[in-house]
A and B are shown apart, each in its own frame.
Chain A
Amino acid sequence: MGGLSLGHFVTLSGILFALGLFTVVTRRNAIGILMGVELVLNSANVNYVAFARYANAGYDGQVFAIFVIMLAAAEAAIGLAIVLGIYQTFETIDVEATDRLRR
């Protein structure tokens, strides 16, 4: 790994996390919010693998990254199913229009 350090990957993961957080905060579209969550999960995965590699921690980091990917798949399936259910009920996926329980 000539020249690459842990800091490179941690910085990249920080940028991805910040952009994912920005997406989650600014989107009003429920699917857009789920995309932001995917960005955040990916940044965490980059951190896991980078730390495991630079600490010579064996396969633990990669195993945890695989668990994160599994749970992200479950989260995407459930989340998108809920979005489709909301769309059938409210005819929109604007997260600010679905406030029936609040009124």
Chain B
Amino acid sequence: MSITVAVFYLLAAVTVGSALGVAFSNSIVYSAFALMGTLLGVAAMFVLLGADFLGVVQLLVYVGGILVLTLFAVMLTHRISDVNVSNRAVGRLPALVLVGIAFGWMLWAARRAVWVVKNPEAPAPTTYGIGNAFLTHYVLPFEIASIVLLAALIGAVVVSRKEVKG
């Protein structure tokens, strides 16, 4: 077993272990902190796949932005009486069966599929190429995504502020 494979299994263990914490923890605060481990593990996976810029973006946007936002929401809405996290309509056992079927089906499909696999090139810095792609081939989706982000942030401000009557 080469060192790359060993690193992969270590990072996969961190990622999946934290994801198990997100899925099964009884406290929403612990879930939020476990989500941090998963996001960090996925960022490390990106680096392992040679996508260095994407790893940094994951770190900045997810861990630095979305996770902090989630923690704020947890802290602003958390109540002690809110311990009953499990769903009444779908219990854990039926959910496990459902998810198990979905997972087994996906694994079966992935095993059956014929991937077009070439020998990957050696990892190289990707920032130049991604920036080039964004400003040439993907310039229109890039601009639309900017507008979507602006609209979403203004909408979030409008939705979450307290209504002032008068």
Interface residues of A (CB under 8 A from B): 1-12, 14-23, 25-29, 31-32, 34-36, 38-39, 42, 45-46, 49-51, 53-56, 58-60, 62-63, 65-67, 69-78, 80-85, 87-88, 92-94, 96
Judging by beta carbons under 8 Å apart, are B98 and A25 in contact? yes
Q: How many contacting A-B pairs (Cβ < 8 A)? A: 240
Q: Is chain B's interface secondary structure helix, strand, loop, or mixed overall?
A: helix
- Contact of B145 with A71 in the complex, beta carbons under 8 Å: yes
Q: List B contacts of A88 (CB < 8 A).
A: 162
Could you list which residues of chain B lie within 8 angstroms of chain A, going by C-beta atoms? 1-5, 8, 12, 15-16, 19-20, 22-23, 28, 31-32, 35, 38-39, 42, 45-46, 48-51, 53-54, 57-58, 61-62, 65-66, 69-70, 72-74, 76-77, 79, 82, 84-92, 95-96, 98-100, 102-103, 106-107, 110, 115-121, 126, 129-130, 132-134, 138, 141, 145, 148-149, 152-153, 155-157, 159-160, 162
Q: Is the pair A35, B35 in contact by a Cβ cutoff of 8 Å? A: yes
Contact yes or no, A81 B4, CB < 8 A: no
